[in-house]
Chains A and B, each alone.
Chain A
Amino acid sequence: DTAVSQTPKYLVTQMGNDKSIKCEQNLGHDTMYWYKQDSKKFLKIMFSYNNKELIINETVPNRFSPKSPDKAHLNLHINSLELGDSAVYFCASSQGVGTGELFFGEGSRLTVL
């Protein structure tokens, strides 16, 4: 059983389109995150939800909208895709906001043409 699963794994789309990435965790964690990894492998936090409440919104363009329907799910919707949005997007989860480690999904590689 995959602990943190993301779909789709690969996404190729045209500029201007809208796309969504879904994430689910079966670890019973109450905190979930979206990270962006660029072509140089730098990891940048985008959003975090704790018990369905947004707690981190890290100066991400408002074309990106996260949504957490429940503690086990965190989705990312991107409007009007731009070339610079091409990256690997990782979902992660942790138990609370204490000292617990992150559990990552396998990533969703988004390519905008």
Chain B
Amino acid sequence: AQSVAQPEDQVNVAEGNPLTVKCTYSVSGNPYLFWYVQYPNRGLQFLLKYITGDNLVKGSYGFEAEFNKSQTSFHLKKPSALVSDSALYFCAVRDMNSGTYKYIFGTGTRLKVLA
């Protein structure tokens, strides 16, 4: 079965420092991977996706993610964190093998950027 894991419930980082939010996946076939962000009392917003091609994917708000096939990881990164980046981040994989193509979300990682 397809799945994603976000091993950290919370990540704390100081403003200006680089941040990483971890995601590992388990899929059969080619993975279609996504990152979403959720601000308090809001819906999820799409940040970036990996479908094929370059392993480093750039997305919204200065975020990027690195697809690593050998480590089955798709970590979200940003070179310099802002306080306004504090939010809940979800990794997701699209199950292209089930016939329904449903999205499977990780459990979320709360990012706290400290001023």
Residues in chain A within 8 A of chain B (CB atoms): 4, 33, 40-43, 45, 48, 55-56, 58, 90, 92, 97-99, 101-107
SS of B interface (majority): strand
Interfacial chain A residues near B88, Cβ < 8 Å: 41
When the two chains form their complex, are residues B103 and A45 in contact, meaning their CB atoms are under 8 A apart? yes
Q: What residue in chain A is nearest B90 (Cβ atoms)?
A: A43
**In the complex, which range does the number of interface residues on chain B fall in?**
20 to 34
Q: Which residues of A contact B51 (CB under 8 A)?
A: 99
Interface flag for B44 (CB, 8 Å): yes
Q: Is there an interface contact between B94 and A48, defined as CB atoms closer than 8 Å? A: no
Contact between chains at B105 and A43 (CB < 8 Å): yes
Q: A45-B102, A104-B36, A106-B41 are in contact. List 4 more A-B contacts (CB 8 A).
A: A90-B43, A98-B101, A101-B46, A102-B36
Whether A101 pairs with B102 at a CB distance below 8 angstroms is: no
Q: Mark B25-48, 1 if CB is under 8 A from A, else 0.
A: 000000010101010011111100
Q: List 21 A-B contacts (CB under 8 A).
A: A33-B103, A40-B107, A41-B107, A43-B108, A45-B102, A48-B102, A56-B100, A56-B102, A90-B43, A92-B43, A92-B44, A97-B101, A99-B49, A99-B51, A101-B46, A101-B49, A102-B44, A104-B36, A105-B43, A107-B41, A107-B43
Which chain A positions have C-beta within 8 A of B94? Answer: 99
Q: How far is the CB of A104 from chain B (nearest CB, A)?
A: 3
Q: How far is the CB of A64 from chain B (nearest CB, A)?
A: 17
Bound-state Cα–Cα, A103 to B94, Å: 14
Q: Give min CB distance, A50 to chain B, whole Å.
A: 9
- CB of B43 within 8 A of CB of A104, answer yes
